[in-house]
Structure 1
Amino acid sequence: MPHVTAPDGTRLAYHLRGNGDPLVVLPGGPMRASRYLGDLGGLAERRRLVLLDLRGTGDSEAPADPASYRCDRQVEDVEALRVRLGLERVDLLGHSAGGSLATLYAARYPERVARLALVTVIPWVIGAPATAEDRLAAARLRAGEPWFATAFPALEAWLSGEGEPDWDLLGAFFYGRWDDAARAHDAAAEWETNEEAETRFHDPAAFDPPALRGALERLTAPVLVLAGELDGGPTPALARRLAAVFPHAERAVQPGAGHYPWLDDPEWFTARIAAFLDAPARRD
């Protein structure tokens, strides 16, 4: 298994899947091992996926300093991976919380990004988290589902802070199809996620929205912001706000998809991502 050494000496693992031009993929969770991404619905048939296990997750070492789990502190891990791969510029995909890291990387190293795909990313980086109202409105779109009557009160209780969340019920709202494959994928999160790192990743101190907006003005790379039609975090409207901070961004909404769109409709997802990645380069 290939590894890269981060600037602070932490040994990070990455996994290679598929063939073609490399696509560096940053997982979400936050701080969930990259295993949950699989082959991104078959995208590995079109691109060579470079799936990074963030520090303290999967096959990567835990850092000596737990404070380095903070999102902005991991930007240099991504840069070390780019150097290790010998790439002048990278095509980069961030899923969910991994999109926060991908965006901070693009702001710090705009000249190193060829294309940036942000998949179901809540825009924490611009101070716009998903609200309880966002999640409830998206959840009500599922009112016709057989599990809705039981799951919706559990969602309301979680969002109001009443007790511990019942993920056996809440998981249904994160998937466009709540089938056996989705249940297994959701259940694996418990042992694939570093809980200590999860609480540190989105430390508000990691983000400076005004400074970020200014830095992103230097980003010439095309950006795709993809949302799931049924996702409550982010909703398509929240994804639109994220797309607006980039000079050259397009937005896509995947029909019938939740937070893991490559599971809900692999063909739609892979076709849309591949079309973005393979589009002719911009001429400034």
Structure 2
Amino acid sequence: MEKDMLSPGAHDVVVDGLTQRYHVHGSGPVCVAMPGGPGVGWESLRMPATEELLTMVYVEPLGTGGSQRLPSHPDGYSRDRYTRSLIGLLDRLELPRVLLLGHSHGGFVAQRLALRHPDRLSALVLYESAPVTGPEHMAEAGARVEEFLRRNEGQPELPTVLAGLQATGTATDDEKITAGLRDMLPIFFADYWEREAEFRRLRETISCTYISSLDENLEPDVIDDRDALPSLTVPTLVVVGRHDVQCGPRWARELHALIPGSRLVVLENSAHLGHLEEPAAFADALRAFVRSVPA
């Protein structure tokens, strides 16, 4: 590996003929972080408190940000495709085994890699993830939206949030899905309006690339890992925010029950972005987990 490939800042490498961009911050053992969406900019996953104990390698997945788009864009971004790209990146970085953190949709990819290539991971963090997508997942998210509305009853901006939520489900271009994401962003937090001064800039700057849910055969990339996860051998930490709407505590409990020897941490005052809402608690959970994993 070239000496500067894990130096602070942005880097580009070519994997399978496509440019893959990643960003390095922090010091300590290496943790590769796969953001969610798919298509959400990596900046929303930045974890300054965690960077004090880990060298964070934030990936820009194919099709997102500075990474190259597939010829079939916006289709073809299946978990298998993202997994191949991640393995290629680990090879380029000459990291035989690594701590992998997957947030939200990135957790689906991390699960796939851990199940298919357990020898490449020293440990796994599934952060706001779930073992399944599809109708069951959507129904649970709908119930969590209702909880969010009850908790914030009377908040005048709720119609904007709901309009943004609907827009992200129907958008088919980058501009519209980014606008919808910014409108709905309060749903990602346990108490956005009480801490709006902290989170307003993220809402104004977060970006998203439109990526479809179809694989390279134009079939829905539906996920159900419940039968496979009991065979997972990688030490695993499951982290969830108590008020998360997208991948809430029900799914974290299922992951914890399915994965042998896993640990579960619930951030009581967070929703989907606990690393921003409770950064110290999030970093402490990772620190304790990393210390528990054999070198």
How would you bin the TM-score normalised by the shorter chain? 0.7 to 0.9
Aligned match for 1:184, one of 176, 201, 211: 201
1:259 Cα deviation from its structure 2 partner = 0.9
SS at match of 2:156: helix
Distance (whole Å) between structure 2 residues aligned to residue 160 and residue 85 of structure 1: 40
Structure-2 change in CA distance of 1:155 and 1:2 (3 Å)? closer
SS at match of 2:258: coil
Deviations 1:227-261 (A, max 9, x none): 11121122212321232232222221102111111
Identity %: 26
Deviations 1:152-178 (A, max 9, x none): 455667778999996665322211342
- Contact 2:122–2:235 under 8 Å retained in 1: yes
Aligned match for 1:174, one of 188, 203, 212: 188
Distance (whole Å) between structure 2 residues aligned to residue 76 and residue 259 of structure 1: 26
Structure-2 change in CA distance of 1:20 and 1:214 (3 Å)? same
Q: TM-score, normalised by structure 2?
A: 0.80
Q: Which residue is 2:106 aligned to?
A: 98
Deviations 1:72-91 (A, max 9, x none): 32110111111112122110
Residue 120 of structure 1 pairs with residue 128 of structure 2: yes
- Contact 2:25–2:56 under 8 Å retained in 1: yes
Deviations 1:182-220 (A, max 9, x none): 12212323xx3111x25547x8743452xx444434421
Counterpart of 1:64 in structure 2: which amino acid?
P
Aligned match for 1:75, one of 83, 107, 117: 83
- Contact 1:175–1:257 under 8 Å retained in 2: yes
Unmatched 5+ stretches in structure 2: 1-9, 172-178
- Contact 1:138–1:231 under 8 Å retained in 2: no
Distance (whole Å) between structure 2 residues aligned to residue 126 and residue 278 of structure 1: 36
Counterpart of 2:209 in structure 1: which amino acid?
N
Q: TM-score, normalised by structure 1?
A: 0.83
SS at match of 1:129: helix
Distance (whole Å) between structure 2 residues aligned to residue 64 and residue 176 of structure 1: 39
Distance (whole Å) between structure 2 residues aligned to residue 25 and residue 60 of structure 1: 15
Structure-2 change in CA distance of 1:47 and 1:126 (3 Å)? farther
Structure-2 change in CA distance of 1:187 and 1:130 (3 Å)? farther
Residue 267 of structure 1 pairs with residue 267 of structure 2: no
Residue 149 of structure 1 pairs with residue 149 of structure 2: no
Distance (whole Å) between structure 1 residues aligned to residue 170 and residue 223 of structure 2: 32
SS at match of 2:137: coil
- Contact 2:163–2:180 under 8 Å retained in 1: no
Q: Which residue is 1:135 aligned to?
A: 145
1:110 Cα deviation from its structure 2 partner = 1.8
Distance (whole Å) between structure 1 residues aligned to residue 228 and residue 93 of structure 2: 25
1:57 Cα deviation from its structure 2 partner = 1.3
Unmatched 5+ stretches in structure 1: none
Aligned residues: 270
Q: Which residue is 1:59 aligned to?
A: 66
- Contact 2:125–2:239 under 8 Å retained in 1: yes
Residue 194 of structure 1 pairs with residue 209 of structure 2: yes
Distance (whole Å) between structure 2 residues aligned to residue 166 and residue 65 of structure 1: 24
CA RMSD of aligned residues (A): 2.9
